[in-house]
Each structure stands twice: as structure tokens, then as C-alpha cells.
Amino acid sequence: MSRFSVPIAEAIWDMKYRLKQQDGTPIDGTVEDTWRRIARALAATEKNPAAWEPKFYAALEDFKYLPAGRITAGAGTERSVTLFNCFVMGTVPDDMGGIFDMLKEAALTMQQGGGIGYDFSTIRPRGAEVKGVAADASGPLSFMDVWDSMCRTIMSAGSRRGAMMATMRCDHPDVEAFIEAKKDPARLRMFNLSVLVTDPFMAAVKADGPWDLVFNNKVYKTLNARDLWNKIMRNTFDFAEPGVIFIDRINAANNLSYCETIAATNPCGEQPLPPYGACLLGSINLATLVTDPFTASAKLDPAALKSLVATAVRMMDNVVDASRFPLPQQRDEAHAKRRIGLGVTGLADALLMLGQRYGSEDAAAQTEAWMKKIARAAYLASVDLAREKGPFPLFDADKYLASGTMLAMDDDVRDAIRTHGIRNALLTSIAPTGTISLYAGNVSSGIEPVFAYAYTRKVLQKDGSRTEEEVVDYAVRMWRDLHGDAPLPDYFVNAQTLPPMDHVRMQAAAQKWIDSSISKTINCPEDISFDDFQQVYMAAWDQGCKGCTTYRPNAVTGSVLSVKETSETVPEAEQSAEVVYLTDPLDRPAALEGSTYKVKWPGSEHALYITINDIIISDHRRPFEVFINSKNMEHFAWTVALTRMISAVFRRGGDVSFVVEELKAVFDPRGGAWVEGRYIPSILAAIGGVIERHLIATGFIAGEGMGLKSDPQAEIVSIGAPKGKSCSSCGGYQMRMIEGCMTCADCGFSKCG
């Protein structure tokens, strides 16, 4: 009997985590094989692997412990991939050579799939003098544009992950331009932006005082602190960015403040990291640890929690040794501090099983108590590892115990650390778990409230058929199993109805015992006033949060999916649009089959050579990429542009035959040409004809003129009312903001992996 309780869970496993050969043939026959592969790989670093493999398997079994996606997909595959999710790159030097060295390092890291963070505060502001070249500096934003272009290039080469975080200090002279950068909808699309807010700045905001913008001890401008704060708030209100990171609070609470300074985070903000810092992630599924759910005796099993946390910490510590790293500096940093980020998922579902309303004072108190239990168990497990394997190399007992969250830790834990040391410098983090939560049976994500108790998901099959299924929250399914059709109690609240201040209360409660940070989105209603919106951020500051990320649906950011508590959620207009998109994002295998065609255009000295490569999915051959080459340099720019555009369309999946008709319809005003007895209206039309012949030969379309006449994704956009942003993977409109990252409810795709 399958371990998957809902079809979406199995679909996510098959698409993202199941080990397959390059041709798509499964190696992992079942999810048990996946668990066994991970357990074996992580036990291999132990002195006695045979003793630990079954214990690791038991932790993974039935989705109790959920390693982050990179570990689940990569461990035990013998592939050259990193198992780390989060990277902050090295400090960017304020010189041209150093800047482009950093760009190269970013490209190498992203090529292996790592999300990266950068602090651009170290680059001199726009207009500053550049000595020796008689010029003014172009400023950090101009270099961010270069990074953005690099990220798009890496993605076009086949990577699906392109998440980057850019930070800038609130006292940098270019911070105002940084704050407003996303007003241009075409700029910095590969970046999340966050302002590094300092304690003195917040004091100046509250005092309505002046604020200096400074670089290298030179004051470039003085302005009112509250005006700058309002500019941050207004842009976040209108454009959902920039976020806010309380950087002084992060450094003050850092267990390693004696040997590192943090100035950036990973893309979703849950991992503040030093230069070349890296962190791996994993989550305890709290929903699986509740006994007697929906009864008066319901509780989270404390013994099971303690045991599971200890095993998870050991597994994650082993990942540090088992993983590859894109750069040697990242490897050295990880080994010196052995940072891990153990968090939770299914929190909201667990609270529901205990009869508690997410966001209430009781739920916040329960959350704080659970997080403390996890922190204690994690730290004591790491002490046990230190006794066995030694503490992390940079451990200094006096300095460690006098810094960060250790000051609030219980005396017995502090005494154990002083006596035996600790294996991992930092241990806890609340990461985005959107995809692994679906994989675990649609448990609530991270510490977020339940997004929707039920919605309809369109399952778009590889063979072109389309089915619909109801996707039900884990706790709701459990309620139905116990109580049938009885209505849900009134403590079942969701992200759409929860007041923003309840979100803040929950984030602050969890943060007290999380030594890194938390990825969480505070959903705000579209009609929230600007004054009330600002108060959300002030509340986050006042209640001890390390950062704040909000999402307010509007015409710019897109509408959050509106969901009824029933399966009848798909608008009639959308149901009538018979458009087929593939469920899977199309990754590039190492080898593809293809054909090359020669086009000799009359009047042109050099021929065009068109190569079309195909991918095989479910025994069907479909176009994946195009290359157009010519020795004629006059053709270079437009052939490169056309190559990239057509390839991007092919990789998104679905019926892409409309590309043929679009190209064939292009007329050259200077006149076409007769080629092989047929009049071709332009060289672009000739290229369209070549692609059409290839699609016919491979069986993708039935015959000449049988391709779609227009882009079906454009058609679906025009039907009915605007629905906000579409998924770049499957074309659907079920996008939701989860833990700071837009995630598709149809296919599970997320920019954040």
C-alpha cells in the first residue's frame, strides 16, 4: 500500500525527489527506496553505518523528518550536486576586478542550484569618485543589474532555480534608489531585496530624527529617518519589496558573534549568514507527532519529539561531511562552524489537532513551548555529538556561552556545553517548506497558517489529458476521518482571514527559540490602510522579530488565490479553456537527440544552420531547444535573440506549436523569396517552416498547418477577470505567497526550490 495519502504528494515525489536515470527511467521504485537511499548516504559518514542506517530510515519513514529538497533529491545519487540550500557569498570588493570575481563565484554556485545572498553595501555609491580613471562610480545598482542578467543566463541554460537576495544598509547613500528599484517591472526580477535596518535607525525613526547616508565615513546626504522609513513602507505596500532585516538584532543574537559579522541572508531570509556561509535545512513534521488528535487528551508526544530531533541533528551534521560545495571557501566555512538549520513544518495542523486557533495567545504560547523543547533537544543532541566526534573547530566555551541565544538557554544545557563543547554552532531555523509539505501529504507549511482547507488542483498529465482532484489539508482530512461531514470548528482559521497582527504574534513566539531566523509571510488584506500596514512592521520590531516580510495582493503583485472551502473553486471561464500544460518543469538532460537543418536564403552570402534538440517524455518526443547559427555577423544579434526566445518557450512545456505559425506569418517589407518552388515571405518564415517540418517528422504535430495559431497561455490570460501571476512552470494561476516565495498550488513549483 502506498505511503502517499494524496495524489499530489506522489506527484511531487516523482517530479522532484525520485531518483531517475537520464532518460527518465526510475531508479527509486517507491518512496521507501528514496528514504533508504538518503539513510544509507547519511549513515555512510558514521564509524558504524549499519547501526545508523535503520535509525535514519525510521526518522524519514512516514514523513516524520523532512530533509530539505536538496538532500532528498541529491543524497546517495553520486551526482556532483550540493546538499546545501543556502549560501551567502563573499564580501563584494569595491573595485572592478573584485566585483567580477564575485560574479563568477555567484555563477558557479547557482549552477549547482544554490540560492545566494549578497550585501551590496560595500560598493561605493553612484557618482562617487573613482581615482585613477577620471570617472564617477556607477553605483551598486548597476552591478546588481549585471548579477540579474547572469542569473537569467544560468536559468536559460537549464537551471530552474535562480533565487538571489540583495541587501543594502539603511545608511548607504544609494539606499533610496535600492528601495525603489522594483518600481521598474523589468528590473532585478531575479532578486529579492531587503534593507538592512539598524538599531540606531529604528531609534531615529521613533524619535522622528535626522539620518545620515554615509560611505567610507563621508556623509553624502542627511534626511529625516521617518521619511526614509515611509519610503520603504510605501514601496513594500505597493510592490511587495523591499523586505526589512533587523541586522543589528541578528548580529547581537548570533552564537558566533565573537568570530563573524552577518550582513546578508539567503533568498528567503531564514538563514542570516557570514561571507561564504552555507546552511542546510530540514524540518520536523509536527503534524505526525500529535497523539489523540481532536480530543481532549490530544498532545504532541514529547518523547517522540526529543528522539526525532536528536536523530535529525545527527543526520544533518553528517550532511556537512557528505555534501559537495560549489566553492572551497564555502566548504571551509561550513566545516569550521558546522551550522545546521533544523525547523518545523505542520505547526498550524498540529495546533488544530489540539483545538487551538492559530494566531491566538494560547497558540502562540504553545508554539513557544514547542520551539523551546526542540531547541533544548537539538542543543543537547549536538553536545552528545561533540562528546563523540568533537566540537566545531571554532568553538570557544567562554565566548560561545556569552553570546547570542545562549544567554537565554537553560542552565543544564549551558553546563553541558561548557563541559563537553557543542558540535554545531547554530542549530535551528524555520525554512520555506512549501514543496516538502505537499510531498508529506499537504501538511501546513512551516509555521504558516493553513492556506486553504480544500481547493481543486488541475492535474495536467504528460500525455495531454487533464484531470482535476480535490487537495485537502492534512488536518482537515484527519477531522473528516474522525467526524465525517461534521462542520469544521470555528478555530479552523486560514491565511485569508487571519489578522496581520496574529501572524506577527506567531512569528515572534517562534523566534524566541530559533537561533537563526524565520521565513514567514504576513498576509495583509488588499484594503488594509497604509497606516495599519506600517504598524505591522513596527509590531514585528517591537516584539523581537529579526525581519518582516508581508504580502498584500494588488494589481502589481498579483492576487492571492481565492479559495472556497469546497472543491468547486475553478472559475467557469478557466474550466472552459482547454489548454494543456505539462506538470513537470523541463530540465535539460545531459544528452539530447536532435537534427540540424541548412537554410540558404537567396541574396545572403552565408547559410543559416538550425539545430533542434528534442526531449523524450512518456515516450513522446517534443522540442526542447533551438540553436540558430550563421557566419554572417549581420545575423548575430537577432539569431541569438530568437534562439533564446524560442528555446524558453519550448522548455515551458505544453503545446508550443504556435511558434511555427507566428514565424511563418512574418512578412519582410523588402520582399520575400522563392525557395524550392515556394514563396517564403521572410527569412523568419523560412525558419518557422524548418521547425514545422521537424515537428511533423517527430510526430509532435500531425501535418503542415496543423500547429496552434496562437499562444494558448496568452489566450487563457484573456479569458475572464485577471487572476494575477501565472506559474512559469505549468502556466496555471494558483500562485500563493508562502514564506516569502510565490508557490504554485497546481504543480508545486517555486522559485525558491
202, 226, 653 from 230: Cα distances, Å: 12, 6, 43
pLDDT band with cut points at 50, 70 and 90 for residue 556? low
**pLDDT for the residue numbered 125:** 96
Taken in order of first residue, the domains within the chain and their CATH numbers are 1-85+275-523 (3.20.70.20), 103-252 (no CATH), 593-713 (no CATH)
Residue 593 has pLDDT above 80, yes or no: yes
What is the CB-side half-sphere exposure of residue 98 using CA atoms within 13 A? 10
More confident residue, 588 or 637: 637
Q: Cβ-count burial of 307 within 10 angstroms (0-12 exposed, 13-18 middle, 19+ buried)?
A: middle
Residue-wise pLDDT for 15-54, tens only, equals 889 999 988 899 999 999 999 999 999 999 999 999 999 9
- Confirm if 326 and 467 have CB atoms less than 8 A apart: no
Q: pLDDT at residue 244 above 70?
A: yes
Residue 753 near residue 115 (C-beta atoms within 8 A): yes
User: Active site residue: 241, 270, 333, 692, which one?
Assistant: 270
Which pLDDT tens digit goes with each residue over 481-509? 999 989 999 999 988 789 999 999 999 99
Q: Which residue has the higher pLDDT, 28 or 621?
A: 28
Dihedral pair phi/psi, residue 94, rounded to 5°: -95, 50
Based on the residue annotation, tell me whether 268 is a catalytic residue of this protein: yes
Q: Point out the least confidently predicted range of 62-71, 683-692, 717-726.
A: 717-726
pLDDT of residue 117: 93
| Cα 661 from chain centroid (whole Å) | 36
Would you say 475 and 285 are in contact if contact means Cβ atoms under 8 Å apart? Answer: no
Determine the residue type at 59. Answer: A
Check if the beta carbon of residue 450 is closer than 8 Å to that of residue 352: yes
Region of residue 76 (phi > 0: left; psi between -120 and 50: alpha; otherwise: beta): left
Question: Measured between alpha carbons, how far is 551 from 528 in angstroms, rounded to an integer?
Answer: 11
638 phi/psi in degrees, rounded to 5: -75, -30
Q: What pLDDT does residue 720 have? A: 37
* Mean pLDDT on 643-649: 87
Residue 257 confidence (pLDDT):
96
pLDDT over threshold 70, residue 10? yes
Q: How confident is the model at residue 574 (pLDDT cuts 50, 70, 90)?
A: very low
Q: Which helix (H) or strand (E) holds 31?
A: helix 31-43
pLDDT of residue 577: 28
- pLDDT higher than 60, residue 609: yes
pLDDT tens-digit readout, 201-216: 999 999 999 999 999 9
| H-run or E-run covering 215 | strand 210-215
Give pLDDT, residue 570: 31
Answering whether pTM is above 0.95, one says no
Specify the range with the lowest mean pLDDT, choosing from 235-239, 425-429, 671-675. 671-675
- Over range 452-479, report the average pLDDT: 77
Catalytic residue among 151, 170, 268, 744: 268
3-state secondary structure 554-596: ECCCECCCCCCCCCCCCCHHHHCCCCCCCCCCCCCCCCCEEEE
> Is the C-alpha dihedral spanning 6, 7, 12, 17 positive or negative?
positive
Contact 79, 323 (CB under 8 A): no
Choose the catalytic residue: 85, 266, 318, 442.
Answer: 266
- Once rounded to an integer, what is the mean pLDDT over residues 114-131? 91
3-state secondary structure 280-304: EEEEEEHHHHEECCCCCCCEECHHH
Report the alpha-carbon distance of residue 354 to residue 574 in Å, rounded.
38
SS (H, E, C) 309-374: HHHHHHHHHHHHHHCECCCHHHHHHHHHHCCEEEEEECHHHHHHHCCCCCCCHHHHHHHHHHHHHH
Q: Is 266 a catalytic residue?
A: yes
- pLDDT digits 0-9 by tens, 686-719: 999 999 999 998 888 878 877 777 666 554 333 3
Q: Which of 165, 21, 198 has its CA nearest to residue 86?
A: 165
The three three-digit cell numbers of residue 496, written as one number: 485569508
pLDDT of residue 671: 74
441 Rama sector, left if φ>0, alpha if ψ -120 to 50, beta otherwise: left
Only one residue has cell 509555521, namely 447
Average of pLDDT values for 274-284? 95
| pLDDT single digits (tens) 162-194 | 579 999 999 999 999 999 998 887 788 889 999
- The pLDDT assigned to 562 comes to 42
pLDDT at residue 326 is higher than 80:
yes
Per-residue pLDDT band at 432 (split at 50, 70, 90): confident
- Cβ pair 46, 54 in contact under 8 A: no
Helix (H) or strand (E) holding 35: helix 31-43
Handedness of CA 242, 245, 246, 247 (dihedral sign): negative
> Which of 160, 67, 66, 165 lies closest to 112, judged by CA?
160
The Cα 35–Cα 444 span in angstroms is: 22
Q: Which of 581, 577, 575 is nearest to 464 (CA)?
A: 581
pLDDT the model gives residue 516 = 95
Say how far residue 22 (Cα) sits from the centre of its chain: 25
Comparing 262 with 595, the larger pLDDT belongs to 262
- Is the pLDDT at 148 greater than 90, yes or no? no
pLDDT tens for residues 335-393?
999 999 999 999 999 999 999 999 999 999 999 999 999 999 999 999 999 999 999 99
Lowest mean pLDDT among 168-182, 512-526, 669-683: 669-683
Q: Is the pLDDT of residue 254 over 80?
A: yes
Cα separation, 422 vs 475, in Å, equals: 37
> Which has the minimum average pLDDT: 274-278, 634-638, 731-735?
731-735
154 vs 680 pLDDT, higher one: 680
